Structure 1
Amino acid sequence: MSALPNPEIYLDHNATTPVLACAATAAQYAMQQSFGNPSSSHATGIKAKVQLEQTRQLARELIGAGQGDIIFTSGATEGIQVAVLSALTAARAAAADQPVLLLYGATEHKAVPQSLEHWNQLLGLNAEIKAIPVDQHGLLDQAFIREHLPRCALVCTMAVNNETGVAQDLVALSALIKGGSHQPLWLVDCVQALGKTALQLESLRVDYAPFSGHKLYAPKGIGFLYTRSGAPYVPLMAGGGQEAGLRSGTENLPGIAALNAVFRQLLAKEHSDFVGSDSLWQYRSELLAALKTVFPQLVLNSDAPYVVPTTLNFSVPGFASKDILDLFDAAAIRVSAGSACSSKIPSSFVLNAMGLELWRSQGAVRLSFGPAMTAEECTAACERIRSLKAVVDSCCLVLSDAQSTDLQPIDGLIQLKHEDLCSYLLVDAKAKCLVVIDPVQSLASRIAQLVQGHQLKVIAILDTHLHKDHHSARPELCALLANFCSADSVDVLGWPEQQAQVQCGRYQLSRVPTPGHSPEAVTVLVTEDDVQKFAFTGDFILPGGTGRLDLPGADSQAFVQSLQRLQQRLAPHSLVLSSHDYAQRFFTRWDLVLQEQPVLQSLLQQPDCCNSWTEQLLAQHEWLKQQQKHFCGVVEVSASDAKALISHHELQALLQQQKTLQIWDVRETYEQVAGALENYIPDHRIEHVPLSGLVQRLSEGQLTTQQAILLVCRSGNRSLLAARVLARAGYQQVYNLKGGVALLA
């Protein structure tokens, strides 16, 4: 029996927080004992009303509300809607046919600009909406604000940024926004500020300030909005007259009771669940030291004196944010990316607005803790983070001064990806050598770390063609790996001059000229023990498509001749690998190339039809110009790949029914080491088949297409992708564990 999985270390408090024990108790009491409707006139209702008003008074005290109103809402998003609706309604009434300007911080939470756009359109205000620039520290450009104030109706800023923890100087902003002859309304998003920095909203002359309970240890679904006395107000919800007619609908008393408990802790002079600023800065220092133990090259994207202590936003050279998130999640450490996820490498709009380099924006990770963190929790988090040093060393994710004594083996074909780009490592572990094919700059440091960590001799660094959409990382890699590379002279694609073949341990590489997409292109053929294994076609043939023929240097006649040349050299089941993989198919086979693209089969049978085929391609390329992500080729994506999904509830039954079932962990090696799947599925043999090694596993030819396989990853997404790849290769009994390890944890 394997050891139990690690207990969860939760460091994503800026997203949401656990509910304080006292707050949960208060909510439970309100639901079962003090459950009255505050609008009822009997004693039970009166008790509920008293607690409601007590909580309102506590909120006033906490934020320095003075004579302003506190309106309980469902959360910050509702509060933002009410504030924006109120301000824009007032602006429309006062506009008198004059153009209206609305300002918001460029690093503002998306709820603010999207609300401005929504209500601007709905109210027919036709106001101009402008983003206020920020500097490299994330601070708002006050000169820009000053310049645009004369015709501005509403300014929207944040107290504390949710991604970076940057705290704006509200005193200076107040003097600027409210100090002139024209005083626009001012909305301050205070969601991340409460409990982390002092607030005195009335003295700052803030007009609207939304707050959210679940960002400060209360349940989801409760929040409140501060409005300055005399500020325009339009109810978003009408009908019952609750909240003095400002927000109709029966109040969420359990949520308000929880807020009451949290507020009392915040105001307590002694024995509070919340710690002071000095302790929070100490926790930050300890967590940062632990992170730098694992990632010595870590760079902070925001830092003192511009931030609250509870947010650490950092990037590590050579890492996309997803790499670090996957590593941390495997070790049961919950952090988040510094941006919303997308199908490609995410990029943080906040860090982009700050003018930081793209690698920092794409690699941003946010670690956030709350003001109720204890010293014991901080110590446990630091210990778990430091435990990852052995993982990154053994997987050569970072370079270490000391050679790891527990290196994870690498052998065969490794497929690395950055967005739609593919780089390949062909490794012979026994001979301690490798060939790199089509290196991508974003992957250069990772490749160099693997080579240096495993002390591999670099036989060659090859390109299949001169790439039209990106620069090859071959010069960069040659410089990084000067001590590991041969000094032999090479041609424009890195092929050793005067050599017809390249030998890399058990692999023999040869090349076939395949111009068409580009004039100098070659296909690199790889054999192992005289058996043809791989064909690296660059962008000549793509998985499910072909390279473009409307770019400079393309030649449709040469393409046909190259196609004929490959037909003579490739076996039907030769694995074809490209330098772009737009459809996330990982590879194709020569028989699939011809099966999925009948026009290519026709070209081989009737080369004279080249002209009509060229016309078809030109029509495709006109469409392709509108598809920026498919720059170098045409790909038709199939939607017929979905396979059987297995829930975690059905797992044991499947294991009982399928006695010969193989379980494949398709997470990357560093995730497998950081959090072994055996901890979650004990007493079953786990095959470690990371996505980067999937093609190698299929090339080994040890499985029949009837083999039953269960694929598992962190969330179920990569395993579903692998299931589709296997289905396309003809495997008929492929299952995907829905929700992955996340639902087993």
Structure 2
Amino acid sequence: MTANLPLKRTEIYLDNNATTPVLPCAAAAVQHHMMQSFGNPSSVHATGIKAKVELEATRQLARQLIGAGNGEVVFNSGATEGIQAAVLSALTKAKAEGRTGAGTLLLYGATEHKAVPQSLQHWNELLGLEASLCAIPVDRHGRLCQRFIAEHLPKAAVICTMAANNETGVMQDLAALEVCIRQHRPDIPWLVDCVQALGKMTLDLQRTSIDYAPFSGHKLYAPKGIGFLYVRAGAHYQPLIVGGGQESGLRSGTENLPGVAALHAIFSELLKTEGSVFQPASRLWQYRDQLLTALRQVFPELVLNSDAPYAVPTTINFSVPGFYSKDIMDLFDAAGIRVSSGSACSSKVPSSFVLDAMGLEAWRSQGSIRLSFGPAMTSAECQQACQRILELAAVVQKHCLVLTDATPTLEWHTKGLTQLKHEGLCSYLLVCPETRAAVVIDAALPLLGRLQAMIKGQQLQLQAVLDTHQHPDHASVRSELCTLLQLDCRHPTDALGWPVDSDSLSCGQYRLQRLDTPGHCPGANSYLLYQQQVLRAAFVGDLLLPGGVGRTDLAGGDAKALQQSLQQLQTLVQPDTVLLSSHDYAQRFFTTLAIACEEQPLLQALLQDALPVEDWQQAANAQARQLQALEQHFCGLVEVMPTDAKATIAPEQLAEFVQQHTDLQVIDVREPHEQSAGALAPYLPAACTVLEVPLSKLCHRLSHADWQQDTPLLMVCRTGNRSLVACQVLARLGFRQLYNLKGGMALIS
């Protein structure tokens, strides 16, 4: 049970590259121009003239700030619109010059913000250029390859680069790029994304041949929806929006004067010679060093993915061996620290396309975190952020997320059965709390570090490392884990790690019984888990999956043997015994025979001998062919079931909902380190009782069958996604009053 805490945690915001808070001076300017100086700059009366004066005064400040010279400064809605206008201008010029067809290249940096290549693709198709998009490679520091540029410029219609990368903070050497570009193509339109440059880099665009440079207000303490585009004098320009003639006909539509007024306040601060809220570069580097020192106290093996002299000081992009981005994101978010990952979602583990383009190792790309602070950060804010980060060191050590010399305490989350998952792979750690004895079942390579940290960190006594079978889709890491953990291997074992000449293996109060279950492959085992003579669960490998039957078309597969193994399993387990597989493709976590038979009529017929062997073989082969068409489901067939929570509870409904359900049980399904980093109870009505059941411990909880299926359960996680998964899992087991908190802690904290 989680005790109420006296205070809710304040938010530490360290994601300024995504967006920034609005500075008080900018917010005051917005309010003033919304309430008092609200005139239309196109109006000729006094109120409109005052608005026009503000508009042009801000334009002059922008010119001074970026060194625009006699170039144009066009106010717009932000960087994305600026990129669109610049790309449209460049490509209409290319079309007029006859630069079309697949041989024409549209060059852009491989680490550009997605707005650039997507804009190029959009206007390329819309204008019918049929040109070829071409990404300029970068080195391990994120710098563009000038040799590649020089080689491909003669065939290019446009080149797009960045001043500073939004994910890594890497600065491009614009002076060197200009020499390269203009030496080979003096006439090519050149777009430079300057969104992350203001306040962090010195700009003097009039001394360059940059044609277009977009800027965005909300990246530098102004509101969202305001920005501007620099256009070099003489550069071809095609208006993106027409129909009013505003901005000298370059961008029609009534100007966002409150937004422009906010920019006026920001630009004025940036141009101050003293007393500005914006810090000099030397101070920003000091802040970076302080934050990095705190981060390394939490993660001693932290690796920077970008650093001086290649990056601006305000962006810290790092990875930690053994951690995926989501792991650190969840931990930081629970502690009220807002950072971001550089990952783009995919069907598998998310990875950073920026770090991939830099050629960094996969673990760094899949584990990258971006911590970004703004150039107006104060010393007090930096100290507060460092202190909050340092508090996580104890959480990380307590939950054995990293190996330390700290005195171990066997936390509740380590006791009993823990299910660790990676994509579709499942690994299990069984721990007896009294004896600290432990057994690992179906260790997967991506989870090797986590298992090592948990076992060594808790000083568990490893009894065995078992595989249920030889996995066709990945190599066993049993021997590697035994070596890492220095398992005493004096007693001989079979190829799966089971002690020779024994059908039983003790793990303190637990006992495992081996069962021969071939069929998916020869020599496969299942392990029945007993606690004080009570059958708690069974590890069935790929004999039976949550939602499917194991494949038999792989090397050594035998449909008849699989049928006999399933029938044998049926005689030894109860219909509601928790069955744990080595794969889970549909986020179901486990199954039971009762559920499996209900979901799969084929299995029901198989167990009842209602199918001739040849029909079962034919059905198994048909299933195998279907599996071959679903490459990601290598070892079994899964069909996602349309189960869901009974209802989604919005945060504003929570208090009334709790009053209506006096027997409500709130279930916090976040992982233990998240629960320690930030408790849920302070954000809930006082009447709520909170039970902490991480998804990784769900199989342990349900194997003890002490939940009443009629009890109303409100599932909560960080965002509402994992809690919905928990609802789906419990719904399959017959729970009838399942509710999900919309948006999770993100909307109530």
The correspondence for 1:353, drawn from 338, 354, 357, is 357
Q: For the residues of structure 2 that align with 1:204 and 1:110, how far apart are their CA atoms?
A: 25
Question: Is contact 1:314–1:364 with CA below 8 Å preserved after alignment?
Answer: yes
The correspondence for 1:386, drawn from 383, 387, 390, is 390
Write the mapping of 1:262-281 to structure 2, written as runs, cut at 5 A: 262-281=266-285
Question: Is contact 1:644–1:735 with CA below 8 Å preserved after alignment?
Answer: yes
1:14 aligns with 2:17: yes
Q: Which moved more, 1:534-543 or 1:366-375?
A: 534-543
1:293 aligns with 2:297: yes
> Structure 2 vs 1, CA of residues 626 and 467 (structure 1 numbering), >3 Å: closer, same or farther?
same
Which residue in 1 is equivalent to 2:696? 692
> Structure 2 vs 1, CA of residues 96 and 709 (structure 1 numbering), >3 Å: closer, same or farther?
closer
Which residue in 1 is equivalent to 2:497? 494
Q: Which moved more, 1:240-249 or 1:546-555?
A: 546-555
Write the mapping of 1:354-503 to structure 2, written as runs, cut at 5 A: 354-404=358-408, 407=411, 409-482=413-486, 485-503=488-506
Which residue in 2 is equivalent to 1:635? 638
> Structure 2 vs 1, CA of residues 96 and 367 (structure 1 numbering), >3 Å: closer, same or farther?
closer
Cα deviation code 1:161-211 (max 9, x no counterpart): 111110010000011111235532111111111110111222221111111
Which residue in 2 is equivalent to 1:338? 342
Which residue in 2 is equivalent to 1:220? 224
CA shift at 1:550, angstroms?
Answer: 2.5
Structure 1 segments of 4+ aligned residues over 4 angstroms from their partners: 404-409
Q: For the residues of structure 1 that align with 2:239 and 2:620, how far apart are their CA atoms?
A: 57
Which residue in 1 is equivalent to 2:243? 239
Q: For the residues of structure 1 that align with 2:334 and 2:676, how far apart are their CA atoms?
A: 8
Question: Is contact 2:212–2:232 with CA below 8 Å preserved after alignment?
Answer: yes
Name the amino acid aligned to 1:664: I
Question: Is contact 2:99–2:157 with CA below 8 Å preserved after alignment?
Answer: no
CA shift at 1:476, angstroms?
Answer: 2.1
> Structure 2 vs 1, CA of residues 614 and 229 (structure 1 numbering), >3 Å: closer, same or farther?
farther
Q: For the residues of structure 2 that align with 1:543 and 1:181, how far apart are their CA atoms?
A: 60
Name the amino acid aligned to 1:133: P
Q: For the residues of structure 2 that align with 1:346 and 1:285, how far apart are their CA atoms?
A: 28
Q: Which moved more, 1:191-200 or 1:556-565?
A: 556-565
Q: For the residues of structure 1 that align with 2:189 and 2:161, how far apart are their CA atoms?
A: 11
CA shift at 1:406, angstroms?
Answer: 8.4
Write the mapping of 1:343-742 to structure 2, written as runs, cut at 5 A: 344-404=348-408, 407=411, 409-482=413-486, 485-606=488-609, 608-681=611-684, 682=686, 684-742=688-746
Q: For the residues of structure 1 that align with 2:410 and 2:272, how far apart are their CA atoms?
A: 51
CA shift at 1:725, angstroms?
Answer: 0.7
Name the amino acid aligned to 2:549: T
1:25 aligns with 2:19: no
Name the amino acid aligned to 1:675: G
1:49 aligns with 2:37: no
Question: Is contact 2:112–2:162 with CA below 8 Å preserved after alignment?
Answer: yes
Q: Look up the SS of the partner of 1:630 in the other structure.
A: coil
Q: Which moved more, 1:285-294 or 1:593-602?
A: 593-602
Question: Is contact 1:394–1:408 with CA below 8 Å preserved after alignment?
Answer: no
Q: Which moved more, 1:557-566 or 1:292-301?
A: 557-566
Name the amino acid aligned to 1:40: S
Cα deviation code 1:443-489 (max 9, x no counterpart): 1111111111211111111111111222222122112100x545322
> Structure 2 vs 1, CA of residues 404 and 387 (structure 1 numbering), >3 Å: closer, same or farther?
farther
Q: For the residues of structure 1 that align with 2:356 and 2:57, how far apart are their CA atoms?
A: 43
Question: Is contact 2:153–2:185 with CA below 8 Å preserved after alignment?
Answer: no
Question: Is contact 1:459–1:486 with CA below 8 Å preserved after alignment?
Answer: no
The correspondence for 2:311, drawn from 307, 311, 316, is 307
CA shift at 1:613, angstroms?
Answer: 3.7
> Structure 2 vs 1, CA of residues 157 and 614 (structure 1 numbering), >3 Å: closer, same or farther?
farther
Name the amino acid aligned to 2:343: S
Question: Is contact 2:413–2:672 with CA below 8 Å preserved after alignment?
Answer: no
Q: Which moved more, 1:160-169 or 1:563-572?
A: 563-572
Which residue in 2 is equivalent to 1:209? 213
Count of paired positions: 744
User: What are structure 2's unaligned runs of at least 5 residues?
Assistant: none
1:162 aligns with 2:166: yes
Q: For the residues of structure 2 that align with 1:663 and 1:642, how far apart are their CA atoms?
A: 14
Q: For the residues of structure 1 that align with 2:285 and 2:132, how far apart are their CA atoms?
A: 41
Q: Look up the SS of the partner of 2:523 in the other structure.
A: coil
Q: For the residues of structure 2 that align with 1:15 and 1:55, how far apart are their CA atoms?
A: 24
> Structure 2 vs 1, CA of residues 741 and 343 (structure 1 numbering), >3 Å: closer, same or farther?
farther
Q: For the residues of structure 1 that align with 2:39 and 2:629, how far apart are their CA atoms?
A: 59
Which residue in 2 is equivalent to 1:88? 91
Name the amino acid aligned to 2:193: D
CA shift at 1:527, angstroms?
Answer: 1.4
Q: Look up the SS of the partner of 2:725 in the other structure.
A: helix
Which residue in 2 is equivalent to 1:178? 182
Name the amino acid aligned to 2:433: A
Q: Look up the SS of the partner of 2:414 in the other structure.
A: coil
Q: For the residues of structure 2 that align with 1:79 and 1:66, how far apart are their CA atoms?
A: 19
Question: Is contact 2:643–2:731 with CA below 8 Å preserved after alignment?
Answer: no
The sequence identity of aligned pairs, in percent, is 60
